């Protein structure tokens, strides 16, 4: 259940409502959106208690949502969310292209790649300054210096930029530097991080965990929303299965499933799913055909020397050529790119 609080409600009235909820053992979360105060309950209460809640002086209306996720639910908000950032729309009729290197390695590297990407219709430049690595001995990212390089590239080329944030203590700094924050697959259930980006005021790309069910993924989006940030973009990037021809198994079924469950936009990262560049074209086309609102693709101009994920990175010219094929598929399903 979702309870909408009257704009005129006084703190003491809201407090009385909270006490009512606590007395009845109803797990809940107060969510301050830009326009409203909403209280989400984990489960729908009995009819009698629902009535009592509705009669509270602070309550404007209640909505019974029978899914564990409420704010993300298509039933709660039947109009699809379109996230506008500058002149880019995510979730609109145009399929958005997000591309760039896995890690930001140097000013020269990012500059060079960014310059070439502008020509392929890339709207958003990806790049990570903080890198989650399986081994403590691997390159861990450039950190704050990488953020600065990213920001400069943004200014110079007029593209939006997105980057990963891993540590709650970095959220404010990262949000200051980039247009979109990204939560990686390994942190999809790092709930403190979700709460923190829920307060950051910037759009968030939320990658699906490699062993997360679709419902768990949407519940992680709900965490961000319940802490005040409704600009969530879901990103399918493959799940872990027994198949080892690919790094992960890209689950394109999740796109239509998510579209039925939620009003949020969903994009696809074929690069991390495949783990090998030769499959990217087929998977990128399939993603758009399945209804994806965008693609997140790794591009590097010197993949052999890349500090990470070289094997799965396209060359800038390969992306340019692929973009033309993707445009045809986008048009075949009534969209543009």
Compute the distance between CA of residue 267 and CA of residue 206 in angstroms, rounded to an integer. 10
CB 243, min distance to a copy of itself, A: 6
Tokens for 79?
A: 């109009």
Contact 327, 337 (CB under 8 A): yes
Question: What number of CA atoms fall less than 13 Å from residue 46's CA on the CB side?
Answer: 4
- Our CB check for a copy of itself shows the closer of 114 and 322 to be 322
Least distance CB 114 / a copy of itself (angstroms) = 24
* 17 vs 100: CA distance, rounded Å: 48
Residue with tokens 């943004």: 154
Least Cβ distance, residue 146 to a copy of itself (angstroms)? 16
- Cβ of residue 298: shortest distance to a copy of itself, in angstroms? 16
Residue 8 Cβ vs a copy of itself, minimum distance, rounded to whole Å: 25
* Closer Cβ to a copy of itself, 28 or 157, answer by number: 28
Return phi, psi of residue 267, to 5°: -115, 170
Whose Cβ is closer to a copy of itself: residue 153's or residue 322's? 322
Element of type H or E holding 297: strand 294-298
Q: Which is nearer to a copy of itself, 150 or 227 (CB)?
A: 227
| Radius of gyration of the chain from its Cα atoms, rounded to whole angstroms | 21
Cβ proximity to a copy of itself, 274 vs 296, nearer residue: 274
Alpha-carbon span 322 to 121, nearest angstrom: 11
């Amino acid at each position: 259940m979702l309870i909408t609080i009257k704009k005129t409600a006084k703190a003491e009235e809201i407090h009385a409502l909270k006490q009512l909820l606590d007395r009845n053992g109803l797990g809940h979360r107060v969510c301050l959106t830009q326009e409203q105060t909403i209280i989400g309950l984990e489960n729908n209460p009995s009819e009698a208690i629902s009535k009592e809640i509705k009669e509270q002086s602070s309550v404007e209306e209640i909505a019974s949502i029978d899914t564990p996720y409420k704010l993300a639910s298509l039933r709660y908000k039947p109009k699809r969310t379109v996230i506008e950032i500058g002149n880019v729309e995510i979730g609109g009729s145009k399929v958005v292209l997000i591309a760039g290197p896995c890690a930001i390695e140097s000013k020269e590297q990012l500059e060079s790649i960014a310059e070439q990407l502008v020509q392929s219709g890339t709207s958003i430049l990806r790049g990570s300054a903080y890198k989650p690595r399986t081994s403590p001995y691997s390159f861990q990212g450039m950190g704050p210096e990488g953020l600065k390089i990213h920001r400069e590239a943004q200014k110079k080329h007029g593209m939006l930029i997105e980057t990963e944030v891993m540590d709650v203590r970095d959220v404010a700094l990262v949000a200051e530097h980039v247009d979109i924050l990204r939560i990686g697959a390994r942190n999809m259930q790092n709930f403190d991080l979700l709460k923190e980006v829920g307060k950051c005021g910037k759009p968030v790309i939320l990658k699906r965990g490699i062993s997360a069910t679709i419902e768990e993924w949407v519940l992680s989006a709900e965490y961000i929303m319940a802490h005040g940030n409704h600009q969530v973009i879901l990103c399918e990037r493959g799940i872990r299965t027994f198949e080892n021809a690919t790094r992960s198994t890209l689950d394109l079924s999740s796109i239509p499933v998510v579209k039925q469950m939620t009003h949020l936009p969903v994009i696809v990262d074929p690069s991390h799913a495949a783990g090998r560049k030769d499959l990217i074209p087929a998977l990128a086309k399939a993603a758009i055909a399945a209804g994806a609102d965008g693609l997140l693709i790794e591009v590097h101009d010197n993949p052999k020397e890349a500090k990470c994920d070289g094997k799965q990175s396209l060359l800038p010219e390969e992306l340019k050529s692929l973009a033309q094929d993707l445009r045809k598929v986008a048009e075949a399903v009534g969209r543009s790119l």
